A = this chain, B = another copy of it.
């Protein structure tokens, strides 16, 4: 009876083993330069074994992306769980988003990669899993904005759109990081993000439209 269970467990372990190898390579050489053969070699498995556990290269990276989203989610979740004013929470989320993009740059890159790649689409079920995480994160921000509204700090007529705007701003500015010396005129990413969060909060405060 233990057989099936053990199989299950081992199956999970193998997938983890593969993921470990894929993650390491991804972080070392970038997404484009990571091939199944390399993953197999690093994981000390036959190529065929990889294909036994994952149907395609994409599936592996989808798992990795999910890991990243989970990490980002948990960072933000912790903030929302704290006893802070809503505006403070938004500031903290901006901070943590930036830190995630720096400290977990590799995860950030992979998330970003799929978001930015025009031609890459996942199979529906993969996409669902991924999108769900994104929705959860938006949900946390929506809830923060709502609590701010309840406390009289904000006036949001459409918290969902505001949340998306907020996340979009963070995301877009993070993309500009490469341009620090030119477009950003020397402003650090940190300063820009902080500025943008303040601006966003300000826009939320006394809205009339």
Q: Footprint of B on A, CB under 8 Å?
A: 30-33, 105, 109, 112-113, 115-119, 127-128, 131-132, 134-135, 138, 158, 160-162, 164-165, 167-176, 178-179, 181-185, 187, 191-192, 195-196, 198-204, 206-209
Contact = CB atoms under 8 A, between A and B. Distances in A.
A182 B203 CA distance: 25
Number of copies of chain A assembled together: 4
Contacts of A112: 116, 118
Contact of A132 (B31, B158, B182, B187): B182
A183 B131 contact: yes
A175 B31 CA distance: 19
Given A118-B30, A195-B161, A134 B203 contact: no
A198 B209 contact: yes
A161 B187 CA distance: 8
Given A112-B116, A206-B206, A168 B196 contact: yes
B196 A135 contact: no
19 contacts: A109-B118, A113-B116, A128-B182, A131-B182, A132-B182, A135-B182, A135-B183, A161-B191, A161-B192, A164-B184, A165-B169, A168-B172, A169-B172, A169-B196, A171-B172, A172-B173, A199-B204, A199-B207, A203-B203
Nearest to A207: B202
B30 A179 contact: no
A154 to B, nearest CB: 11
A171 B161 contact: no
